[in-house]
């Protein structure tokens, strides 16, 4: 994945973008003024965020972190569903 750090910084923006069912998100990066941020990258990075939050929760549980994990899992489920829908739209007609 190119521009991983920039994509992590823009993750919340990308989540909101794709939950509103908008087309491919693009942003300005060091490599390209029109760098794509595909939905699959959002799903991957959000999964990593959740794993990190769960590891932190095991060490030091808190209600705020518990709510953040639940919110992120809910968003991940919606984004994964959108990704599956995106894949079925691109299947070749028979």
User: pLDDT band at 91, cuts 50/70/90?
Assistant: low
Element (H, E) at 10: none
Read off the pLDDT of residues 1-37 as tens digits, 9 standing for 90 and up. 889 999 999 999 999 999 999 999 999 999 889 999 9
Task: State how far the Cα of 77 lies from the Cα of 18, in Å rounded to an integer.
Answer: 12
Could you tell me the pTM of the whole model? 0.88
Q: Are 44 and 1 in contact (CB under 8 A)?
A: yes
Q: Where are the domains of the chain?
A: 4-89
User: pLDDT band at 61, cuts 50/70/90?
Assistant: very high
Task: State how far the Cα of 20 lies from the Cα of 63, in Å rounded to an integer.
Answer: 28
């Amino acid at each position: 994945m190119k521009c991983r750090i920039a994509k992590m910084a823009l993750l919340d923006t990308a989540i909101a973008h794709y939950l509103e069912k908008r087309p491919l998100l693009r942003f300005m990066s060091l490599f390209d003024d029109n760098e794509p941020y595909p939905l699959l990258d959002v799903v991957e990075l959000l999964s990593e965020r959740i794993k990190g939050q769960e590891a932190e929760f095991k060490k030091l549980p808190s209600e705020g972190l518990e709510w953040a994990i639940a919110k992120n899992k809910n968003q991940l489920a919606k984004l994964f569903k959108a990704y599956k829908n995106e894949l079925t739209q691109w299947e070749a007609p028979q």
